[in-house]
Structure 1
Amino acid sequence: MSAILPAGYSHADSTATCTGPTQIFAALPDGSTRLYTHPDPVNGSAGFSNPTVVGGPNGGTLMGGPSGDVYNIQHNGEFRRYHWNGTGWDNPYQVIAQGWGGWDLPAYHNRITVDPLGNIYSVGEDNNLHVNHYDAAAGKLVEHVIDTNWGNYNLIIAGGPGVLYARDPNVNGGELYRYQYDANSQRWLQRKRDLGIGWNIYSGIFSAGGDTLYGHTNDPRGELYWYHFNNDTGLWAGRNYIGFGWDPSWLVTSISNTCSSTMTLPPKPPVTLTGAVAATLLPNTNGRLEYYYVGKDGSVVTVDQSDVADGSTAQFGVLATSGTFTGRIAAALNDNGGAQVLALGTDSEIRGAVQPAIAGNWSTLSPAGGYFPVEPAIVRKPDNTLVAFGLDAQGGLWYRPQLAKNGDLTSWQSLGSTGMKNTLTAVAQGSTIRLFTLNANNRLSTATVTGTTLSSWTELTGLASGVSGSAVPSVVIRADGTAQVFALDSSDMSVRTIKQNTDLSWPTTWTTIPGLTAAGAPSALATNTGTVEVVVKGNDGLVYNTGQLAPANPAFRSWTVVDPMNNAGSDPSAAQLSTGVWAIVFRDTEDRVYLYHTVPSGSLAARAAADSPSPTFVGGLLPVQRH
């Protein structure tokens, strides 16, 4: 028999707390099901009770769940949940799903497990890691893909809430790894911690919870061994011999929450409520404009406008949800033209919704975890998949990739880093994603993410501390591939800009765009003529516009008023449409939406304004508002 060599080893007692003996169920090939107990799951002393034949689940696949639940997937794909009440099985069993065939095949029957929260983790033919939970109100399993590339594991077992042990049979006679996923925050708290070699000697492994594992060997003697892993120290207690006679042909499992260990999980941090934030604009095909904002009542409002020249085409909607929201909406277009949005709840939980196609019906805003004090960002990568980013309460950076084009976002994974704060701004720059936020010194800083690698943060010097502390910077990628940033300098409320050098380094000074005292965050866009246009709310409440005199000229023309009659209650936002027309959107103090757009060249309005260096805007209050 090969020796198991854990990563760190100790004969100390386990740190688990157990409520009683481990209840072990064994389904035999003859159709009988037995109940055994191991009296000492805390210390792993040898011996177990004589079996009691209890009937109940047998055949297919067997998985222990919490509080007496035992799950059984039949050969025909019927997914059953039995409940052991301490003296017998409650009748009848509950069928929670159909169509789960194939889990009895040798390649898969050890790749599904139930944790102490009742969450079902599985690795199927797609080799992705799925989590299912049973929605009692809907009477069905709700599934989510939380990770990819788990096909190298031939066994996964839940050892605690979201704690997964995974065995790679092709490395060192069976390498064992520990993962920890928090289903509430949807964060990976630990990934692929190496726990040792030689675990192929076991035909199966089951857990009583609390990082307490039992392995039964695949030799005819069928020996049973006990282990406990201390995640804080990285040490094992065990390998303790419990007994023999556990035939490899048996399906063996145990109740999954008999034991528990202390776990540190992410708390929900406080969220600072922010109002009058700019709408997020998404130009779609054929001149269509979609935009999103948080209403004064904390709802997430969607607007789909097929023609910016016709305000009556604006279709307003409110995404269904149970929460209230704050800040700026993160939104991006899928490859198929549908959209995904992420919104920051006032309880720090991110919630997301999906529009399956252009003008399609939105899903309900559903929990997306996070537990972030500030809004996330979402951006479309060069491969046309989406990725979201968020900052936790310690300033650590997290990312959440899309499974595939137009697919679901998976789960939050750490990119490291600490000390960053404030809302993230994310843009695609070449083959990387460029991020902007404030550091611990209130200095605007930038970094890139290439694949899953985060660069060091670069502080953009030359502005007083506090730049954009209350206003999110706007970033455009120029035709030469460089990034240009526009920010509010809170020391004098001026709009300033800084543009990367051609080698992608950053200068040490910012340029002030003179002539205006601003009252919020600027919004910039790169036009198809190679210039950059900027809009911002002035301290008089009106929306102003400026732009470059020429593509190669860094100077900006004088600020002009977009709408001299109506004050803005929110910051404005601007975007160029696929037609080359660009639009400005803002809300007034009553939360009503205004849209202005540039007039096409050759129109009467354009010819009348031909001698003016500034663009001509038409538009105003949308005739149809939210409902």
Structure 2
Amino acid sequence: MKSVSRAIRRLSEVALIGALAVVGLPLVAGNANVASAAVSLQCTPSVTIFGASTDNTMWINEHNEPETGANSMTGRGNQGGGWSGRVLAGRDGHVFWLPGNGELRRWQWNGSTFHSYELLQEKRWYGWDEPANVNRITVDANNNIYNVLSNGTLEVNIYNETSKNWTVRTLATDWGKYDLIFGSGNGVIYARDPAIGGGTLFRYQYDVANQRWLGYNRQLSGGGWNIHRQVFSPGADIIYGITSDTGQLTAYRYDPHTHTWPNGYTALGTGWATIRNASATTNNCGSTTPADTIVQCKPSVTIFGASTDDKMWINEHNEPETGINDMWGRGNFGGGGWSGRVLAGRDGHVFWLPGNGELRRWQWNGTDFHSYEVLATNRWYGWSDAANVNRITVDSNNNIYNVLSNGTLEVNQYNETSKSWTVRTLANDWGKYDLIVAAGNGVLYARDPAIGGGTLFRYQYDVVSQRWVTFNRQLAGGGWNVHRQVFSPGADIIYGITSDTGQLAEYRYDPQANVWTIGYAALSTGWSGIRNASATTNTCSPLNPTTVTRPTVPASAIIRPQGLLNPANNILEFAFVDELGVLKRGVQRNQGTELIDFQGMAGGDAGGVTFTGRASATFRADGKLVLAANRTNADAFTYTQSGGFNWNAPADIRGSMVSSPQLVKGAGGLLTAFSIDAAGKLWYATQVSTTGDLLPWRQADGVAGSAISVDFTVIPTGDSAEIVYRTTGNVVEVRKFQNGTLQAARATTGLVAAGVPSGVAFADGNVQVVTRGADNNLYTQKESANGFTGWQLVGGLTVKGSPSVILNPHGIVEIAARGDDDYVYRTGQIAPGSNVWRIWETNLDSGAQTDPSLVSVSGTECRIFFLNQSGSYFLVQQTPYTSDPGAAMSASTARTSKQARKVDAKVSTGSVK
């Protein structure tokens, strides 16, 4: 055979349509949305390919750089005749020869010639050159021989080089559907089903040492493999195929980590039509990482089945991560009486809801049930009703999730020490789902029966941070309505029982790659009589779980208080975190007075955890004041007023965020808290109702943008909000937030910003932003139809900290800021929309410790609030600016503190206690 040199062609014809053979079961073939992963291949410089021809001569070729798919072949020519029967290459140049007389002989190629053969076995290996068998025998990278018998049994034959003995194990009994198998690494076996998609490959991996399947029945994307009459491999999931028509040799490579075909295919040349048996040295290539290690499971999963006659049946499914059909029954345990709803939890726990309002918990110890505990009474009713039976589930930490009749999703957490329950509302729109199942730590699958014959959506809730790590991910495929029950042992492994035949099937989803690694694996039948089936929920777990890391939130100096007006009584409220880390509320004693009463909400605890950063406050729809602040351990808390100086118990809304939460009232009068995580992403938590708690944190959807720093401001605009922020690159940007989605950023240019940018929103939808620059001057600009077109210097003052900005009742933008001399100053436009600003004014009250908070009170009044370094407060009463050209000065006019205009204003000072 001549060396072939042709142009490289890398196409994607491997990625053809994949389909499932079982009619009516979910179509969950892989898709192209996959995670990237670094896969390191190690190959010898070339792969040795052995070809026994139709005239029984041996031709040897070298394929150079096999891991790249390069079209570079070197021919070594004819190495002699007599190679009848079946010829198979193994590791280290070994070539196995089955001449047809029952013998198994092994030769070894040393690179230039063959050594004399060894007779490894006799009177056993018959018929492997027959058409029905020739492609159903293969050798892996460790010289283990796999073969499929005529009855569909898959065997592995392991040779002991020391004792010269063979060990034969049966690995499966249902491989009669495969017409071709080939080894592609250490225990990696590919099998072709000719009846699916013009020939579809399934990938398996068997661990010989531990006698367990590491990967089982993974259907690969694409079809059309029937065009190859021979397929073989040098290892590491590199595949060669020879076509039946032209004898074309083609190279492929599959990546089991990303579930993709990285190179498509490379045509290596024709001329292989006369090769009867082709194979390659099976350890020429290897991978530096295991092929399929995304989950780890206990040897078997215990499946509990409460039957229609109220008996408990227990079965074990071995190696649940693989999809192998290997089950054994333990029989009937616990006698009868298992009426109501039965659900398995972690560590053999079985929860029983008999229907009388009780929640009881038993524990299976492997041979029997312990006596039960009553965990709750007078609450758990109706969960065996047809409408509810599939809307309750237990995760791998024994947290119980349930959907109420009004569509509310709850999580119920049991405290083993206090023997008490904590119930949290997680969502209020789950009425569309008729089935939920927990499949790990906070992992929930929900079925919408109205989409695609039943479509699954995947969620993941992190209990510690109270975040939705994954929310509303629609999974590929449909048809899940065929299952009347679905349950899980964890790690995104799912069992389903069909409504018609009672078939038990297994699936496995990879959330990192977003593919089904087990598309469908049929297990046993006979489950029609099982009313409630469930599995021990922590049997399996992901090796690299998605987790939320609690960030470091450093304690900060006291910063700007938030001031706001109570519209019900025109009384001012203030919120801030003081220098001791205490969250404080200040309330004006009476309308119009300068006297403020202060109330310490909460401070540090024994662990040294205190509040930090900016406090936030707003009024709920019923007029109750709500405060929010972050603690140094990254847990955020809210405090809701019950009346006067009385407050409800604080709500720990967690978050694990680096920024302080910012509360605003939005669409429908619902409060929303906004915060920033360690990656600079915006998260939000919205009330379940106008007087309810905040739902878990969700990351804002929308167009990806720059990382957001902790310095941001939220401007409510009716049914939406404008997020004004400084990026981690110190650029000011604005993004509209609406219905959980961030729109594209509107970026400013030409300024290196510092501190917290502020802004106001106008009726035309445009925003005017004000920020401190890196040079400690203040700058502003307003959006127009052309976006942000340039910064304007608000001159005459160098400042510290961050400005406070309002749009006063006369349409004029006003700014209050702390000067570098620790005086508090105020300015404003001379008229609405003007680029000319008034001379900075001050009361010459020195020693400001915080930035000022500027609050519009009424048409004839505004207030400036700040704290000084002695712990006293200042409440300055002033009149809002109106159009007054005589008060203006040029933005470039310089000033010192003594040159600033002194304001005749009503000022009250007092101690903060």
Q: With the length of structure 2 as denominator, give the TM-score of the two structures.
A: 0.62
Distance 1:92 1:80 in 2: 6
The farther-off stretch of 337-346 and 478-487 is 478-487
Distance 1:488 1:600 in 2: 23
Higher relative contact order (CA 8 A, sep 6+): 1
Distance 1:529 1:486 in 2: 19
State which of 277, 283, 297 in structure 1 corresponds to 2:565.
283
Instruction: Tell me if 1:61 matches 2:341.
Output: yes
The count of corresponding residues between Structure 1 and Structure 2 is 605
**Corresponding residue number in structure 2 for 1:604:** none
Name the amino acid aligned to 1:443.
Answer: V
**Corresponding residue number in structure 1 for 2:800:** 519
State which of 678, 687, 693 in structure 2 corresponds to 1:393.
678
- Deviation string 1:276-326 (CA, Å, 9 cap, x unpaired) is 310112211212222211121222222233426445552413237754222
Distance 1:283 1:358 in 2: 17
Instruction: Tell me if 1:556 matches 2:837.
Output: yes
Instruction: Tell me if 1:402 matches 2:684.
Output: no
**Corresponding residue number in structure 1 for 2:155:** none
**Corresponding residue number in structure 2 for 1:326:** 612
Contact 1:376/1:424 (<8 A) preserved: no
Distance 1:245 1:269 in 2: 50
State which of 402, 416, 426 in structure 1 corresponds to 2:714.
426
Distance 2:594 2:337 in 1: 62
Shift of 1:553: 4.4
Shift of 1:167: 1.5
Instruction: Tell me if 1:217 matches 2:498.
Output: yes
Contact 1:182/1:189 (<8 A) preserved: yes
* Pair 1:64–1:235, CA change in 2 (3 A): same
Matching of residues 58-207 of structure 1 within 5 Å: 58-136=338-416, 139-190=419-470, 191-207=472-488
Name the amino acid aligned to 1:26.
Answer: G
Shift of 1:87: 4.0
Partner-residue secondary structure (3-state), 1:37: strand
Instruction: Tell me if 1:618 matches 2:902.
Output: no
Distance 2:722 2:468 in 1: 23
Distance 2:337 2:674 in 1: 44
Distance 2:337 2:874 in 1: 63
Contact 1:302/1:319 (<8 A) preserved: no
State which of 304, 309, 315 in structure 2 corresponds to 1:36.
315
Name the amino acid aligned to 1:183.
Answer: V
Distance 1:538 1:613 in 2: 14
Name the amino acid aligned to 2:729.
Answer: N
Contact 2:772/2:779 (<8 A) preserved: yes
Distance 1:306 1:136 in 2: 46
* Pair 1:241–1:479, CA change in 2 (3 A): closer
Contact 2:502/2:525 (<8 A) preserved: yes
Instruction: Tell me if 1:297 matches 2:580.
Output: yes
**Corresponding residue number in structure 2 for 1:540:** 821
- Deviation string 1:406-463 (CA, Å, 9 cap, x unpaired) is 3222122222524322222111235431111123431111111232332211211242
Distance 1:8 1:253 in 2: 27
- Deviation string 1:202-233 (CA, Å, 9 cap, x unpaired) is 221111111122212223x4222222222233
**Corresponding residue number in structure 2 for 1:460:** 748
**Corresponding residue number in structure 2 for 1:605:** none
**Corresponding residue number in structure 2 for 1:609:** none
Distance 1:568 1:406 in 2: 37
Q: Which has the larger radius of gyration?
A: 2
Aligned CA-pair RMSD: 2.8
Distance 1:238 1:172 in 2: 17
Name the amino acid aligned to 1:181.
Answer: Y
Partner-residue secondary structure (3-state), 2:481: helix
Distance 2:591 2:673 in 1: 28
Shift of 1:600: 11
State which of 751, 761, 766 in structure 2 corresponds to 1:477.
761
Name the amino acid aligned to 1:489.
Answer: G
**Corresponding residue number in structure 2 for 1:338:** 624
Contact 1:96/1:134 (<8 A) preserved: no
Contact 1:394/1:419 (<8 A) preserved: no
Shift of 1:170: 2.3
Contact 1:79/1:100 (<8 A) preserved: yes
Matching of residues 238-317 of structure 1 within 5 Å: 239-248=520-529, 250-261=531-542, 262-285=544-567, 286-307=569-590, 309-310=592-593, 312=595, 314-317=597-600
Contact 1:599/1:618 (<8 A) preserved: no
Name the amino acid aligned to 1:134.
Answer: Y
Distance 1:25 1:599 in 2: 74
Partner-residue secondary structure (3-state), 1:200: helix
Contact 1:319/1:364 (<8 A) preserved: no
Distance 2:695 2:640 in 1: 17
Partner-residue secondary structure (3-state), 1:275: coil
The farther-off stretch of 308-317 and 159-168 is 308-317
- Deviation string 1:542-581 (CA, Å, 9 cap, x unpaired) is 212223334464432222223x344111111111125753
* Pair 1:168–1:599, CA change in 2 (3 A): closer
The farther-off stretch of 308-317 and 62-71 is 308-317
Contact 2:550/2:633 (<8 A) preserved: yes
Name the amino acid aligned to 1:83.
Answer: Q
* Pair 1:400–1:373, CA change in 2 (3 A): same
Instruction: Tell me if 1:362 matches 2:362.
Output: no
Contact 2:313/2:330 (<8 A) preserved: no
Partner-residue secondary structure (3-state), 1:517: strand
Shift of 1:156: 0.6
The farther-off stretch of 199-208 and 389-398 is 389-398
Name the amino acid aligned to 1:296.
Answer: E
**Corresponding residue number in structure 1 for 2:110:** none
Partner-residue secondary structure (3-state), 1:441: coil
Q: Which runs of 5+ in 2 are unaligned?
A: 1-22, 32-201, 205-214, 217-293, 882-899
State which of 502, 510, 518 in structure 2 corresponds to 1:237.
518
State which of 447, 463, 484 in structure 1 corresponds to 2:735.
447
**Corresponding residue number in structure 2 for 1:510:** 791
Distance 1:481 1:43 in 2: 56
- Deviation string 1:306-347 (CA, Å, 9 cap, x unpaired) is 426445552413237754222112332211122333322223
Partner-residue secondary structure (3-state), 1:226: strand
State which of 760, 773, 794 in structure 2 corresponds to 1:489.
773
Q: Which runs of 5+ in 1 are unaligned?
A: 602-611
**Corresponding residue number in structure 2 for 1:570:** 850
Partner-residue secondary structure (3-state), 2:668: coil
Distance 1:451 1:340 in 2: 22
* Pair 1:321–1:161, CA change in 2 (3 A): farther
* Pair 1:27–1:17, CA change in 2 (3 A): same
- Deviation string 1:64-120 (CA, Å, 9 cap, x unpaired) is 211222222231222223333444434341323532222221111111111112222
The farther-off stretch of 366-375 and 317-326 is 317-326
Contact 2:440/2:492 (<8 A) preserved: yes
Partner-residue secondary structure (3-state), 2:814: strand
Partner-residue secondary structure (3-state), 1:79: strand
Contact 2:839/2:901 (<8 A) preserved: no
Contact 2:671/2:686 (<8 A) preserved: yes
Instruction: Tell me if 1:353 matches 2:638.
Output: yes
Instruction: Tell me if 1:589 matches 2:869.
Output: yes
Contact 2:455/2:474 (<8 A) preserved: no
The farther-off stretch of 552-561 and 6-15 is 6-15
- Deviation string 1:153-189 (CA, Å, 9 cap, x unpaired) is 1111011111111112222222222222222222223
